[in-house]
Amino acid sequence: MAAGPSAPGSKPVPAAKDSNCLAGLSFVFTGELSAFSREEATDLAKRFGGRVVSQPSSRTDYVVLGADAGPSKLAAIKKNNLKTLDEDGFLNLIATRVPDYTDDKLKKKIEKEQDAIRAAANELERREKEIEKKVKGKEKGKDQISNTVPLGSQLWVDRYSPHTLKEVCGNKGQIEKLQQWLNDWPSSLKSGFKKPGKNAMNTSRAVLITGPPGIGKTTAAHLCAKLAGFTPIELNASDARSKRLVENSTNVSNTSLDGWMHGTEATNAAGVKITDKSCLIMDEVDGMSAGDRGGVVALVALIRKTKIPIICIANDRGAQKLKPLIANAFNLPFRRPEAAAIRSRLLTIAFKEKMKVPANVIDQLVMGAQSDIRQVLNMLSTWKLSNNAIDFDQGKDLSKMNEKYTVLTPFDVTYKMLGPYMFSATARETLGDKMELYFHDPSFVPLFMQENYLKTQPSRIKNDAGPEKTLKHLELMDKAASSLSDGDLVDALIHGPEQHWSLMPLHAVCSTIRPASFLYGSGGGYGGQNPMSFPAWLGQNSKQSKLNRELMDMQARMRLKVSSDRHELRQSYIPALFPYVVKPLMDEGVSAVGTVITRMDDYFLNRDDWDTLVELGLDEYKDEVVLKKITPATKTGLTRKYNAADHPIAFHKATDLGKVPKKLAAQGPAPDLEEAP
């Protein structure tokens, strides 16, 4: 499997003839190159204007082949008769190729793109001027203090927010649906939400838009509402939205037309005027948090009765508190728009702002921001402060700087750590980066490592075979295991009485990074026979403490008779008692119950202790094995007979004192057996 290039950095990247030398070409990379990692190679292709796709197709221009190329890709190459390049060929291409600007198709395509951008930019320009004029006119006419800010000082995000539906990037279908629903609203209201309509949406009084941040959910909702002739009323996380407030402020539930009927400008608690053409937009409903108790429930109640459309917006559809809402509103999931969809919009804006931003840089930024338009715009506007142009590498740095920080689950971290790439020779992750991974969840990651470190086929020994491989593998395992053991010692210092928190990085290295550095490789999360699993330690540990507690109780009860501590009790007494208190039930069934109970009374054991005793067994005394041999009738017989009589009790637990004790604590070492038939 991919273990990284064998000679990283051995070949320099040639100086390209043209900075856009690969323009118009699409590449597929397969296999492992010798001097570059996959990531570096794709970066190269992109930097020089090429397109990189993952699967070869008939439209692929070149396939760059490395060692161990994937068989399916090779098949596709054959099928489509694609041109292939090796590493040197690829570099050569960069060094020599000059894009064919004379190619009509390409030329036209570029021109067309540019025209479209220019046109859109002009349109923007025109609109802005109009607004400006309007503002000026207003100021002159009414001499009113306007709260509109001059466009130049507006944030780009506001300034270039879409004004028409066409300008909203991506999610076209969903937006259309939303619009349709709003247009149909009056008729749906009249019909009492009985007719499903074209999109089966008209039975809902509300919609719930979900999707990641910055993809234009709020913008789309506002635009749609305006276009359908509604006045949007927005309530967002900055407004308090507890149950009472939701009920009062929106006032929609009883008489939405109150204000309108009275003729005065009735405003609700939130200070927003309500008319019959209002549309309530509840933004950030997943932000209805602890302070907004009952908010979601009240919102649902509101939805059931509302006479105006309600649009709810949230980020995380899976959130627990949105459950009731999902059931009561039509769900419109918004997806991240494709980079291509955003590209033209961003290019237009860049053009308008007179920035020189190549298309491949935009792609890079969009990808880095995970299609969050808002983020890219903010990035660009910040960049604009110092620079008017941006090239590929700068773009990469910029997007890296603004990288979204996501918390990985311990599963993900373990996959990454033990996977074949993290430690391969071309991996760019520094020790710090690896530690960063550990800090995603420092309490769980080490446990996951310990659970899964043996499940890989280590890359370090992939070139060995036979006994040597086995021996090397065992050696690596040994090193990893002893490092894990070191890690636990460090952990004991961190969580010990002195709490040396400064040792956390050392713990990261010992418990996670070092073991992974020995055994990384395919397998485990990468298609091996043993899938990664959740650490068994947690379950086992709680089982151990439970049994330990029960054993201690048992020892306390037996104390009047037995001098041993609880370890001796477990190791010598329980095996010795077994033939007397459990075995008879296995062999003789119900008839043995009497003798068993007598024996239990001797040692002040109660019915629960009997269970503990069985549960503590191992091997042939293991509880599953034993219980299988005891018939249910025998067991119930034991329970019934035990409960039927009084038994000597060594002492009462402090917690039991609430109950009326059946009998006084037995005095003296010898219990009175006559009282316990």
Stretch that binds another protein, among 312-320, 352-360, 429-437, 552-560 (CB under 8 A): 552-560
Cα 600 to Cα 594, 595, 635, distances in angstroms: 10, 9, 15
| Residue from the set 49, 50, 259, 617 that interacts with another protein by CB under 8 A | 617
Q: Any contact of residue 454 with another protein (CB under 8 A)?
A: yes
Tally of CB atoms within 10 A around 59: 10
Which residues inside 527-546 make contact with another protein, applying CB under 8 A?
A: 530, 536-537, 540-541, 543-544
Q: For another protein, which residue of 55, 146, 254, 470 counts as binding (CB under 8 A)?
A: 470
Q: Which is nearer to another protein, 395 or 521 (CB)?
A: 521
Q: Taking contact as CB under 8 A, which single stretch among the options 5-13, 63-71, 436-444, 481-489 is the one that binds another protein?
A: 481-489
Q: Which of 326, 481, 504, 590 binds another protein (CB under 8 A)?
A: 481
Least Cβ distance, residue 415 to another protein (angstroms): 18
Binding to another protein by residue 193, rule CB under 8 A?
no
Taking contact as CB under 8 A, which single stretch among the options 40-48, 157-165, 318-326, 476-484 is the one that binds another protein?
A: 476-484
Closest Cα to residue 354, out of 392, 381, 323?
381
Say whether 77 sits in a helix, a strand or coil: helix
Q: Which of residues 82-111 bind another protein (CB under 8 A)?
A: none
Q: Is 475 in the site for another protein (CB under 8 A)?
A: yes
Instruction: Report the residue number, 161 or 522, with the smaller CB distance to another protein.
Output: 522
Q: How far is the CB of 633 from another protein (least distance, A)?
A: 26
Burial of residue 45 (number of CB atoms within 10 Å: 0-12, 13-18, 19+): buried
Which residue of 339, 547, 590, 676 would you call a contact of another protein, by CB under 8 A? 547
Q: Please report, as residue ranges, which positions from 642 to 661 form the binding site for another protein (by CB under 8 A).
A: 650-655
CA distances from 551 to 544, 565, 616, 625 (A): 10, 10, 9, 20
List 64's β-bridge partners, or say none: 29, 85
| Residue with Cβ nearer another protein (124 or 605) | 605
| Shortest reach from residue 498's CB to another protein, in Å | 8
Site for another protein in 556-575 (CB under 8 A): 556-557, 559-568, 570-575
Which residue bears the tokens 């001499």? 143
Rounded distance between C-alpha atoms, residue 8 and residue 576, angstroms: 66
Query: Which residues make beta-bridge pairs with 233?
Result: 280
CB burial of 425-453 (b: ≥16 within 10 Å; e: otherwise) equals ebbeeeeeebbebbebbbebbbbbbbbbb
Binder of another protein out of 114, 187, 485, 636 (CB under 8 A): 485
Can residue 492 be called a binding residue for another protein (CB under 8 A)?
yes
Taking CB under 8 A as the binding criterion, the range among 61-69, 113-121, 373-381, 576-584 that sits at the site for another protein is 576-584
Give residue 645's Cα distance to chain centre: 57
Contact range with another protein by CB under 8 A, out of 105-113, 166-174, 314-322, 490-498: 490-498
Give whichever of 530 and 591 is closer to another protein, judged by the CB atom: 530
- Confirm if 27 and 51 have CB atoms less than 8 A apart: yes
Q: How far is CA 294 from CA 205, 245, 288, in A?
A: 20, 10, 9
Angle at 162 between CA 161 and CA 165, to 5 degrees: 160
